[in-house]
Amino acid sequence: MIDLHIHSIFSDGELVPSEIIRRMAETGNEGMAITDHADFTNISWILDNLRKLQDYRDDYELKVLFGVEITHVPPELIGRAVEFARKEGAEIVIVHGETIVEPVKEGTNYSAVQEEVDILAHPGIIDLKAAELASSNGIYLEISARKGHCLANGYVVRVAEETNCNLVVNTDAHSPSDFIDKVMASEILRGSGVNNPDEVLENAKTIMRKRDR
């Protein structure tokens, strides 16, 4: 498995990046991305800190991307936040979608899928228009392993099938107990209504290859 949605101590996660990488490798996973919660106040700070590992990445056990999860930014400002993150060196950008368990502002999904975003995380009850835009713009919809966010997984799968939108499965991990392996990821996908979990698992590899620098 490649997990592209993990939080470290640079937002509300519990672990430093090195421990995340070690634990992910021990779990048997192939790669990962650290994508901490970010807005205009901390995008630079997060990426400046993660950049300190760049020269050492070849000595770690996994391929690692450094990025951000644009979180609760007003929809009309998401494009500017994404652009700022890219300029600051984000290798992967995801947006905190309209999960049904948080008060994410309506319009966040629609704004996000019009920008240079890799993944729309836990998009909740995403409408067809937003999903169609995500599909045409090459943005992946997330199937979440995280409690609460996962409640809309089945709906996301159905919309993705209807709009030919690609899916990716992530943990949205904040603590060691959140990490999963490929077997569990496949089970989560099956439980969400995905008939071809191996194909969805390959999508993360596509993103990793595209963004790996």
**Strands, sheet with 92-96, edge to edge from the N-terminal-most edge strand:** 2-6, 31-38, 63-70, 92-96, 119-121, 140-144, 167-170
CA 152 to centroid of chain Cα atoms = 16
The H or E element that residue 157 is part of is: helix 153-163
The span from the CA of 89 to the CA of 171, in Å, is 23
Say what the pLDDT of residue 213 is: 54
The CATH number covering residue 129 comes to 3.20.20.140
Tokens read off for 160: 């993705």
Say what the pLDDT of residue 85 is: 98
Say what the pLDDT of residue 141 is: 98
Number of structural domains in the chain: 1
According to the 3-state scheme, what is the secondary structure of 131-153?
HHHHHHCCCEEEEECCCCHHHHH
Say what the pLDDT of residue 87 is: 98
Neighbours of 51 (CB within 10 A): 12
Say what the pLDDT of residue 178 is: 98
Q: Can you tell me whether residue 41 is helix, strand or coil?
A: coil
**What is the greatest pairwise CA distance in the chain?**
43
The span from the CA of 61 to the CA of 58, in Å, is 8
Can you give the residue range of the structural domain that contains 129? 2-211
Closest to 112 measured CA to CA, from 128, 133, 92: 133
Say what the pLDDT of residue 210 is: 85
Say what the pLDDT of residue 20 is: 98
Q: What is the pLDDT along the chain (213 residues), one digit of tens a residue?
A: 999 999 999 999 999 999 999 999 999 999 999 999 999 999 999 999 999 998 999 999 999 999 999 999 999 999 999 999 999 999 999 999 999 999 999 999 999 999 999 999 999 999 999 999 999 999 999 999 999 999 999 999 999 999 999 999 999 999 999 999 999 999 999 999 999 999 999 999 999 998 775
